[in-house]
């Protein structure tokens, strides 16, 4: 699949309302593929990380965002990580850079559905971080749906 075709297919999906996990996985997998093909994984390090997290059963290569994860483990900026602030910013920059639909970011209902599905996907998928010793971060799916932009997600650090 060529790079232009990836962007076209990605944009078609981004223009739709988000309603199911398959859409989210498709979007993240196409973004990841494009980042890899264009050697943009370092430029969009958070976006690449979140794409990988959705596509793997565990993540143990967290070097690119180790600073964020180490701060999270120390108890700093946990809200940014748990509300996907880094993902949203990188995704916004990516979509604008390639003239793709930003509906997933700017349509609030669509964004909240996207976040709810992301949390489902990321729940129970361990993130292994190696500050001084190995730590594992696991987020938990909330009991209730996320209904507004001020949400919190429970987690464990082992």
Phi, psi of 116 (to 5 degrees): -60, -40
pTM above 0.85, yes or no: yes
Confidence of residue 1 (pLDDT cuts 50, 70, 90): low
- Number of domains into which the chain is organized: 1
**Which domain range does residue 110 map to?**
3-157
Tokens for 28, please give them. 């993240």
| Model pLDDT for residues 148-157, shown as the tens digit of each residue | 776 768 888 8
Are the C-beta atoms of residues 103 and 15 closer than 8 Å to each other? yes
Q: In what order do the strands lie in the sheet with 127-129?
A: 127-129, 135-139, 155-157
Task: Name the 3-class secondary structure at 106.
Answer: helix
**Best CA proximity match to 116, nearest among 136, 89, 139, 92:** 139
């Amino acid at each position: 699949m060529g790079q232009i075709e990836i962007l076209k297919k990605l944009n078609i999906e981004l223009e739709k309302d988000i309603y199911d996990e398959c859409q989210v996985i498709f979007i993240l997998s196409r973004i990841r593929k494009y980042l890899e093909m264009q050697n943009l994984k370092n430029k969009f390090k958070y976006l690449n990380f979140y794409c990988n997290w959705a596509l793997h059963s565990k993540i143990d290569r967290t070097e690119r965002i180790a600073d964020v994860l180490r701060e999270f483990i120390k108890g700093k900026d946990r809200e940014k990580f748990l509300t996907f602030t880094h993902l949203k910013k990188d995704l916004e920059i990516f979509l604008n850079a390639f003239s793709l639909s930003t509906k997933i970011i700017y349509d609030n209902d669509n964004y909240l559905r996207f976040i709810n599905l992301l949390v489902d996907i990321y729940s129970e998928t361990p993130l292994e971080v190696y500050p001084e010793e190995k730590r594992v971060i696991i987020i938990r799916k909330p009991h209730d749906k996320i209904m507004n932009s001020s949400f919190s997600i429970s987690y464990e650090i082992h």
